[in-house]
Amino acid sequence: MSESIERIATTSVATPAGHYSQGTAWRDMVFVSGQLGQRQDGSHTADLSFEEQVRQSIANLQAILAEAGCGLDDVLKVTVYLVGVENWPEFNRIYTEIFGASRPARSVVPVPGLHHGYLIEIEAIGRRPPPAPPMP
């Protein structure tokens, strides 16, 4: 029996300009495509501060996770593409503030540049929490 892959899409995040989904899910696994700091209306934040780009990228990630029925506590792995190693400490500070006690596995990959001049892109793998047991 074949199980289909679910496409995750939310209007809380800009519609992808390329041929990909905001996220996909299979069984309880959720995969969120790389998120830049693009706003819901499609406008860019690449000209804004690094902190604003990080916060918008993570907000986009959270919106897609929420559409899939997940939160940051359900994230298993995060991959971050970061322009400028000097931005790492500020990224870490913001990431720690937002993720709190949640500590998914994480890779930070320094890159020479990103689309539209962004300084950060974030993708994640998560899992849908198990359903609550029925009340007796």
pLDDT digits (tens, 9 = 90+) for 68-102: 999 999 999 999 999 999 999 999 999 999 999 99
pLDDT digits (tens, 9 = 90+) for 108-119: 999 999 999 999
Using pLDDT thresholds of 50, 70 and 90, give the confidence band for residue 136: confident
Using pLDDT thresholds of 50, 70 and 90, give the confidence band for residue 134: confident
DSSP string, 41-68: TS---TTS-HHHHHHHHHHHHHHHHHHT
pLDDT reading at 16 higher than 60: yes
Using pLDDT thresholds of 50, 70 and 90, give the confidence band for residue 2: low
- Does the reported pTM lie above 0.95? no
pLDDT reading at 66 higher than 90: yes
**CA atoms of 26 and 50, how far apart (whole Å):** 33
**CA atoms of 41 and 15, how far apart (whole Å):** 9
pLDDT reading at 36 higher than 70: yes
Q: Higher confidence at residue 30 or residue 2? A: 30
| CA-closest candidate to residue 99, choices 49, 48, 50, 65 | 65
Burial 61-90 (b: 16+ CB within 10 A, else e): bbbbbebbebebebbeebebbbbeeebeee
By three-state DSSP, how is residue 90 classified?
helix
